[in-house]
Amino acid sequence: MQNTQILSTQPPPPDSALPHRPVRSVRAAAGAGPGGQPPRGRALVFDACQVGVVLRAVLFVEVVVGVGAMYGASSPSAWLASLALLTGGALPATLVWLVTACSLKTVLQRLSTAQQYAAGVLLGAVAGAYACAMLALVGLSASPPWLASAATGALLAAMLVAALVLRARGRTPAATTARLTELQSRIRPHFLFNTLNSAIALVREEPAKAESLLEDLSDLFRVALIEQGESTTLAEEITLARRYLGIEQVRFGNRLQVQWNLDPRTDSARLPPLLLQPLVENAVKHGVEPSARGGKLRVLTELRGNRVVVRITNTLPPKEGKPGRHDEPSTRGHGIALANVRARLALLHDVQGEFTAGVQDGLYQVRITLPAADPTSQPTSRQRKAPRGRGDPRGSSRRGVVAPTEPTPSKPHEHPDR
């Protein structure tokens, strides 16, 4: 990972450094591929390749097995024994069904809707027979109920396919777009209100700088409020966050210190628009503004396997009259930003998008984990270098010292008022 440490002391980069954002929409509905693009060919009735689908399918089958084990169980110990026996066959069979359905995704896509339903049920019958064969192989069943096992597998597969179809209908491109648009329309007035408050505060404190700040705000609004579709890249979100922090730098001066540790391999990761700006705004509002001495803010991005981690940390203001001890944020919010970020991240990436926030080791930390972009959809090296010019915060203007690697943090406790 390429780490750079920058203590922010300059105004935001010029407008020419901002990347051009074409109006586009990247779908994230059921049946979409890893890069968020819709599949080719006919519509896929159910997609067994998503992590969330796998978890829900295993949980669903285990609940059914648990309920079924109750029949004929005379005591809790007998129920546990029956549950263990049935799970030993049902769980591998479920995984076989999921892996097979995922592997045959391209083939299923060529079939009609009715044929896809039939294929899912048929795979369930085969998986049920497989479970029966496993139990017979280890000698747990003297007379294997092949027909009953196949029928049970087909029934469970039919129920699972129906559930996936209903879920997919709720996550169609139109429904996803409508919900994301609704959430983004909620965050934009919040964004406008708070940035204008920063300008008003500077007008009172330093009127000479107010005109320049308002011009920068105009440029920021023009970029931030453009219609971006359902998702944008992490590189564009970083650029917007840097521009916002540059405006706050004019207001707070040396009280605001910003450190950037950016991994260029994460630039193409997809996330909802206006996701990072409310988080860095929160960090300034609760970590820098209440303290007379100011505070420090750190933004880190890194690639861990096929996952992208974004971490935003800020210092907390010391307790009044108690040096060395830090208090919870004194400015109470309404949870709009964090709740909105969490909802949009879950809508775009489902269970693959993780969000945690809370106080850890005297610092407030927000951590976002999302899937890395599909390498096949990433631009070439020539395309990546093209937009980086003078003033581009992610180009040749980087400077500083490599920061030490952080230890893996423990799970923070979320603060309800942020």
Domains of the chain: 15-29+172-385 (3.30.565.10), 51-170 (no CATH)
- Using CA atoms, how far residue 283 sits from 13, 24, 292, 293, 356, in Å, is 21, 30, 15, 15, 14
Of 77 and 298, which is predicted with more confidence?
A: 298
Percent of the chain with pLDDT over 90: 9
Q: Is the pLDDT of residue 170 over 60?
A: no
HSE-CB of 345 using CA atoms within 13 angstroms: 23
319: enclosing H helix or E strand: strand 318-319
Instruction: Determine the pLDDT at residue 310.
Output: 93
Tens of pLDDT, residues 1-55: 444 444 444 444 444 444 444 434 333 333 444 444 444 445 566 677 777 777 8
Instruction: Determine the pLDDT at residue 192.
Output: 65
Ramachandran region of residue 2, left (φ > 0), alpha (ψ -120 to 50) or beta?
Answer: beta
Q: Is the pLDDT of residue 270 over 60?
A: yes
Tens of pLDDT, residues 195-250: 677 677 667 777 777 777 777 777 677 666 665 556 788 998 898 888 888 878 87
| Residue 132 buriedness (CB in 10 A; 0-12 / 13-18 / 19+) | buried
pLDDT, mean of residues 170-190: 48
The span from the CA of 31 to the CA of 109, in Å, is 10
Of 156 and 174, which is predicted with more confidence?
A: 156
HSE-CB of 149 using CA atoms within 13 angstroms: 21
pTM exceeding the 0.75 threshold for the entire prediction: no
Mean pLDDT over all residues of the chain? 70
